[in-house]
Amino acid sequence: MDELENKIRPPLQGELIDYSEPMEGREVSMAEVLGAVLRRWYVVFGVFVLVTGVALAGIYYFMGKKYDTEGAIQVSTIVPRIIYQVEDTPPPYMNFKNTQAAIIGRDIVLNRAADELKDKNLIFFDPLQNYVPQLRKMLVNEDIKIFPDRENEYIFLRMTTDYPKQAEQVVDALIRGYMSVTVSEESRGEDERLSVLEKRRRMLEDEMEQHRLKIRQRVEEYGTGELTTRQQIMLEQVGTLQKELVAASIRRLMLETQVNTKESQVKTQLSQETVNLQKSQLIEADPLVRSLQGDVQRYEEMVREGRTTMQESNPELKRRMDVLEDLKRQTDKRRNEVVIQVEEQIRQQTSQSRQGELENARAELAQTVVYETRIREKLEELDAETIGLGRKQFEIDDYREQLEQTKAIYSDLTRRIEEINIERSRQPRIAVGSYARSVEAKGKRRKLTAAAAFGGIALGIALALMVDKVDKRVKAPSEVTKQIGMRIIGTTTSLHDINKKLLPQQLFDDYQTIRANIGLLEDAQNTKIITVTSPGMGDGKTTFSVNLATSFAHSGKKTLLIDGDLRKPDIGMVLNLPAGLRGLQDYLFGYPIDRAVYKIDGIGLYVLAADNRNSVDALEMLSNPESMERIRALVKFFDKIIIDTPPVLAFADTLLWSKISDGTLLTSFVGHTTRPEMQEAIERLTEIRAKILGTVVNNVKMTHSYRRYGYGYGYSYDKSIHKKHRLQMANRSSMLLISSVKSEEKQSNA
């Protein structure tokens, strides 16, 4: 059991596919088309064999023997030159070949071919009419085919006729007519080309002489053809003069400012404060005033000394004071005399000084202006000379460049003229590849055979797609969501799609995923009673019901499995329960649950089995209100209740079970269940407002053919039918989880 527990706990391997509306008018993908063709491969193969066989018989019986007459003209890609390695750029090769193929059908070629064929009495032509229109008609009707081959250098001329010898004459005449026209046109073209090149070469000689003359004139003017050094020196002089011009301009601006300042000073009178300051300075500088001031200071000192040593009445002190007063009067008098003299002198000197400074500034400004003007004139002269010198150098260089270009063109023309003269003797680009030869025509039969084969395949594919379109069976889980709009709870793997040794583990994974997905549904959180049904018979609902109940039991939930299909109860036989169990009927008739239920040891699964003794009145039994109440009362004893019911489209029993239950699971079987059946089943369940949890798709990735529902469904059980049914139950048991569980338990006990 430990190993079993480990097996049922791996991570989930599936996912819940959400509900989506069916896609009306959706585009069919290439993968779906390819899948439909592969499913109906036998239809494609059968149609292919039939169509190809009939076509081959008709082709080889009704088609007479024909001959292909073919000639070829070789058009070389590039003809190797004799001397020169430099090649002219040719036109695109295929364009050139197509042009030559068109030339074969021109009147000039047809005229030459007609002249050659007119006396040979060929069956293709009416001798009483012009051959040229007849040849042109044969080309238009493709009796004569002219086509350039993309794989090689040949232009082929081909005729398919019953008269190979005469066809060879027609093809050869066209080849010879074309070759004669091509040779004459090529020769004429070379002559015209030489004439044009010679004329151009003479014109280039004249141009070169003119260029040389112009260069010589410029060189004689300056004595040299390289004026760059002289121009560089002149440019340096221009730079020096420009710097000097800038300095002179700055000096002129400064002098103009000084002149303006001096002019304003001359016009302005001296302020009294300035006059007084200068006047005080001149007075103090006068010798007499300075002498008197010295005497005054000496007598003032003597008076101060006398007052300290003498009395006021002392005659000496008095004399000193009188002398001091007399000196002060003399000093003041002299000051006044000096003031009168100095004021006029100051004004005259200041005016003369300012006027002199103004004149000096004006003279210097005039000199600076003259100097600046001369520099500017010299700069303009030198600048013009420098520009002229540069233009002369440019003209010389331009004439030299033109001369070199003309020389290069002249040399190329001379080389090409020499090349044409020499290359005239080389092998022509266009030559006769092969004259006409005839062989038995097989290409048409091969083409028709290939066309028949492709037609058979195409018709087979179309028929396969048509058959697949008519077939409404579910072929893959994706169709359930895309075309029906049903939510997928999970899938179960086909018995034929997995190794037998891996089947038990795969069953655990499939049903664990389904069980987990049911728990993830928002509308199934409180779902305890789950009804399992299907659109019709053979959709795997009983096997699924047993396995789902087993999976819930192993998850630790107390689970009850009810065989609700009273018309054809199979659960007792599938689980190999004791014969005669009719637990469901007993319980509905009033038996207690512990007497009606059968417990499977070691699994924790409880079963309410049934037999077919109440198949006639099954609907009345289930529609009884007491039956519904007793079924609903089971939720008190069990965590999960799984009910296996009849197909929803076969009987109304399922609708009653769905109303009793908390949710309904609809099973489908890949390759058996049809889309209309599923849609009708959903509609019936929706009409009674049953809660549809989703669908489980069985037999994924495999296609099987099963009987449709309702045919011989559960009404009689004679011995032959009973034996056949037991064989079916034995095969079905290999798909049960419970078989795998019991096998594991036996190995564990051993």
The mean per-residue pLDDT over the stretch 297-317 comes to: 81
Q: Which tokens belong to 408?
A: 């290069």
Distances (CA, A) of 710 to 231, 538, 646: 115, 10, 10
- Return the percentage of the chain with pLDDT > 70, whole number: 74
CA-based torsion, 135, 139, 145, 149: positive or negative: positive
Straight-line distance from the first to the last Cα atom of the chain, in angstroms, rounded to the nearest whole number: 12
Question: What DSSP character marks residue 271?
Answer: P
- In tens, the pLDDT along 484-520 reads 777 888 888 777 766 777 777 777 888 888 888 888 8
Find residue 644's DSSP bridge partners. 532, 563
- In tens, the pLDDT along 614-635 reads 767 778 888 888 888 988 999 8
Residue 641 pLDDT greater than 90, yes or no: yes
Low-confidence winner among 73-87, 112-126, 372-386, 400-414 (lowest mean pLDDT)? 73-87
How wide is the angle at C-alpha 156 spanned by C-alphas 155 and 162, nearest 5°?
170
More confident residue, 258 or 735: 258
Confidence (pLDDT) at 597: 92
Q: Which of 312-321, 445-454, 601-610 has the highest mean pLDDT?
A: 601-610
For residues 153 and 16, what is the distance between their CA atoms, to the nearest angstrom?
65
For residues 704 and 442, what is the distance between their CA atoms, to the nearest angstrom?
47
The model's confidence at residue 24, banded by pLDDT at 50, 70 and 90, is very low
Domains in the chain and their CATH numbers? Answer: 17-65+441-470 (no CATH), 473-749 (3.40.50.300)
Q: Which of 71-85, 248-262, 465-479 has the highest mean pLDDT?
A: 248-262
Task: Please tell me the number of Cα atoms within 13 Å of 89 on its side-chain side.
Answer: 0
Low-confidence winner among 57-61, 204-208, 667-671, 683-687 (lowest mean pLDDT)? 57-61
The model's confidence at residue 720, banded by pLDDT at 50, 70 and 90, is very low
Residue 48 exposed, middle or buried by CB count within 10 Å (0-12, 13-18, 19+): buried
Q: How much is the pTM?
A: 0.42
Confidence (pLDDT) at 561: 94
Q: Which long-range contacts (CB under 8 A, 24 or more apart) does 451-455 make?
A: 452/51, 452/52, 452/55, 452/56, 452/59, 453/48, 453/52, 455/51, 455/55
Find residue 73's DSSP bridge partners. 155, 432
Confidence (pLDDT) at 225: 62
Confidence (pLDDT) at 562: 92
The model's confidence at residue 346, banded by pLDDT at 50, 70 and 90, is low
- In tens, the pLDDT along 134-177 reads 889 998 988 898 988 888 889 999 988 878 898 889 999 999 98
If you average pLDDT over every residue of the chain, what do you get?
A: 76
For residues 259 and 267, what is the distance between their CA atoms, to the nearest angstrom?
12
* CB 355 within 8 Å of CB 262: no
Q: Which of 228-232, 495-499, 665-669 has the highest mean pLDDT?
A: 665-669
